[in-house]
């Protein structure tokens, strides 16, 4: 059963007007069939109303900062969705164009429109714009957080400590795994349900991405496929092969003990509820499970809390806390031994082999190890002429090259480098009171030259 806190009705729902020829699930954030609370809700409504269901996805060519790399990964997933829905007898419509106009057109004869929840500004604007103009019932079902964001905490959390205690207490309440009901029209024949049958050709992710992406300068990552089948396989592999060591090795960039689920989570190709279930059910040590749940639930949902309640999450003066801006301003005139502009950073042309390796890991693989992301961000602050310039280039590079970029986690990770969700530390040049990281720390903690060597080999192979 779907927890009621996941469901938010707009006008007209329930009860429903009695008009309309179908139920429309506007799939946007939760780009999957399995473990999708919004899809489940939409099937339930179609069954109750004895109306056909149509699932619609709109491809917007101008999503902010999205490039070919992102479109390709996403469309791998949409091809999966099309295939899996077809197996369930549910028709799927893919449109390209303006989001709001396309959804309003697709929903013109709908009795009920259901969608999932998204947390970024543009996702919320789309939903508000659709809600304003729709005349039928409209419901948002939140499926991409373990604990629905407003139920977790009613305001911006200052740090993980505050949110952790709230979320962990509620975790069991929201472990509502979805069991998709059988769709009542599944076995309808072509003649009596012609208007509901999906006759569109199979999606070809490569071709469609090349057509849809306005920015084509960043190429797709060859050996890292998107989609819910790939995500499920990755989760299975991680739980069976690496989770047991996560508590000890997750911080080490050499060990590569990580799930690689962030891009799938970003595109909603896997449900966090399903991830938590799989982790809890595994026979890994409890400490390892707790360490992973800290990241995938507490840290990830702290990021959602941040972008949900802080409207300035992508601006220096909104994302960076006042104490951190003050201390960085106090140190604005400090001598900076190294200064690099955006081009040198993008091409990984700094004096620091560890930083260059991290940058290249991101450019080549579309991913970067979590610990190296922190180091990478801190160094950009150290080597930029101003903190504002550092913020801008850090976010731009992150969002350009990371497959999981443009995510609440990305905006929050960048803000964290500038002191968000952190505390003041001992004062030092350039950084003031914000936390500092250095190469000696990498050398002391890890066999970091092995990381550099691995990335160098990757670079040689392209
Ligand atoms: C400067 C900077 C930029 C970042 N940019 C992004 C980004 O664009 N997109 C993104 O998804 N993450 C970002 N992160 C957070 C984190 O680095 C990635 O989520 C993680 O490295 C993804 O790899 P994984 O899935 O193998 O993680 P795992 O270690 O396997 O962790 C499992 C999941 O937990 C969550 N998680 C792990 N670490 C964090 C964290 N620090 N904050 C929030 N959630 C976390 C992610 O959803 C991740 O998939 C950034 C962090 C920093 C410091």
Per residue in 52-65, pLDDT tens?
999 999 999 889 99
Confirm or reject: Cβ of 265 under 6 Å from ligand 1: yes
Q: With a 6 A CB cut-off, is 417 part of the ligand 1 pocket?
A: yes
Q: Over the stretch 127-141, which tens digit does the pLDDT of each residue have?
A: 999 999 998 999 999
Domain 1-144: give its CATH superfamily: HUPs (3.40.50.620)
What is the pLDDT, as a whole number, of residue 195? Answer: 46
User: What pLDDT does 176 receive?
Assistant: 83
- Tell whether ligand 1 has an atom less than 6 A from the beta carbon of residue 120: no
CA of 362 to the centre of ligand 1 (A): 13
What superfamily does domain 316-460 belong to in CATH?
Answer: DNA Cyclobutane Dipyrimidine Photolyase, subunit A, domain 3 (1.10.579.10)
CA of 370 to the centre of ligand 1 (A): 6
Tell me what the mean pLDDT of segment 295-307 comes to: 98
State the closest ligand 1 atom to the C-alpha of 376, by its place in the atom list counted from 1. 1
Confidence check: pLDDT of 419 > 90? yes
Which is the closest atom of ligand 1 to the Cα of 296? 34
80: closest CA among 274, 277, 222, 227? 227
Q: Which two tokens stand for residue 169?
A: 């207490």
What's the chain's Rg over C-alpha atoms?
Answer: 23
- Residue 191 token pair: 């003649």
Percentage of residues in the chain with pLDDT exceeding 70?
Answer: 95
- With a cut of 60, say whether residue 282 has pLDDT above it: yes
Residue 235 Cα to ligand 1 midpoint, Å, equals 15
Give the range among 16-30, 111-125, 231-245, 409-423 with minimum mean pLDDT. Answer: 16-30
CA of 409 to the centre of ligand 1 (A): 6
Q: Is 318 a residue whose pLDDT tops 50?
A: yes
- For the Cβ of 272 lying below 6 angstroms from any atom of ligand 1, the answer is no
> Could you tell me the fold of the domain covering 145-180+227-309?
1.25.40
| Pocket flag, ligand 1, residue 69 (CB < 6 Å) | no
pLDDT in the model for residue 74: 98
Residue among 226, 248, 272, 295 to mutate when testing ligand 1 (max atoms within 8 A of CB): 295
Q: Which residue has the higher pLDDT, 261 or 462?
A: 261
Per-residue pLDDT, averaged over 286-301, amounts to: 98
Domain map (residue ranges) of the chain = 1-144, 145-180+227-309, 316-460
What local confidence, expressed as pLDDT, does residue 14 receive? 58
C-alpha 373 – ligand 1 centre gap (Å): 9
Residue 275 class from Cβ within 10 Å (0-12 exposed, 13-18 middle, 19+ buried)? Answer: buried
144 lines ligand 1 (CB under 6 A): no
- Residue ID of nearest Cα to ligand 1 atom 10: 409
């Amino acid at each position: 059963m779907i927890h009621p806190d996941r469901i938010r009705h707009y006008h007209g729902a329930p009860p429903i007007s009695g008009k309309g020829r179908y139920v429309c699930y506007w799939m946007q954030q939760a780009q999957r069939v399995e473990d999708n609370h919004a899809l489940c809700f939409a099937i339930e409504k179609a069954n109750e109303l004895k109306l056909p269901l149509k699932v619609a996805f709109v491809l917007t060519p101008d999503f902010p900062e999205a490039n070919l790399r992102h479109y390709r990964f996403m469309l791998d997933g949409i091809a999966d969705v099309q295939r899996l829905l077809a197996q369930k007898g549910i028709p799927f419509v893919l449109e390209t164009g303006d989001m709001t106009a396309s959804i309003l057109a697709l929903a013109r004869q709908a009795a009920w429109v259901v969608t999932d929840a998204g947390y970024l500004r543009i996702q919320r604007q789309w939903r508000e714009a659709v809600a304003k103009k729709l005349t039928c019932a409209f419901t948002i079902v939140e499926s991409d957080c373990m604990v629905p964001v407003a139920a977790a905490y009613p305001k911006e959390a200052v740090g993980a400590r505050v949110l952790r205690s709230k979320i962990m207490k509620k975790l069991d309440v929201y472990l509502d795994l979805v069991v998709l009901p059988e769709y009542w029209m599944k076995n309808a024949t072509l003649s009596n349900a012609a208007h509901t049958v999906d006759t569109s050709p199979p999606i070809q992710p490569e071709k469609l991405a090349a057509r849809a992406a306005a920015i084509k300068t960043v190429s797709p990552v060859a050996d890292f496929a998107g989609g819910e089948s790939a995500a499920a396989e990755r989760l299975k592999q991680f739980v069976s092969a690496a989770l047991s060591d996560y508590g000890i090795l997750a911080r080490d960039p050499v060990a590569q003990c990580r799930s690689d689920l962030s891009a799938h989570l970003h595109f909603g190709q896997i449900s966090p509820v399903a991830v938590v279930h799989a982790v809890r059910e595994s026979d890994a040590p409890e400490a390892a499970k707790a360490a992973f749940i800290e990241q995938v639930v507490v840290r990830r949902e702290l990021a959602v809390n941040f972008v949900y309640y802080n409207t300035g999450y992508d601006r220096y003066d909104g994302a960076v806390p006042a104490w951190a801006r003050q201390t960085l301003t106090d140190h604005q005139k400090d001598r900076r031994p190294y200064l690099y502009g955006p081009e040198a950073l993008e091409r990984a042309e700094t004096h620091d082999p560890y930083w260059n390796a991290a940058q290249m890991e991101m450019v080549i693989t579309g991913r970067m190890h979590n610990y190296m992301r922190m180091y990478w961000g801190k160094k950009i602050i150290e080597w930029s002429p101003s903190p504002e310039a550092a913020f801008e280039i850090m976010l731009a590079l992150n969002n350009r090259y990371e497959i999981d970029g443009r995510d609440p986690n990305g905006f929050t990770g960048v803000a964290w480098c500038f002191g968000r969700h952190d505390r003041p530390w001992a004062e030092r040049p350039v950084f003031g009171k914000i936390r500092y990281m250095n190469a000696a720390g990498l050398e002391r903690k890890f066999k970091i030259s092995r990381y550099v060597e691995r990335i160098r080999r990757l670079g040689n192979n392209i």
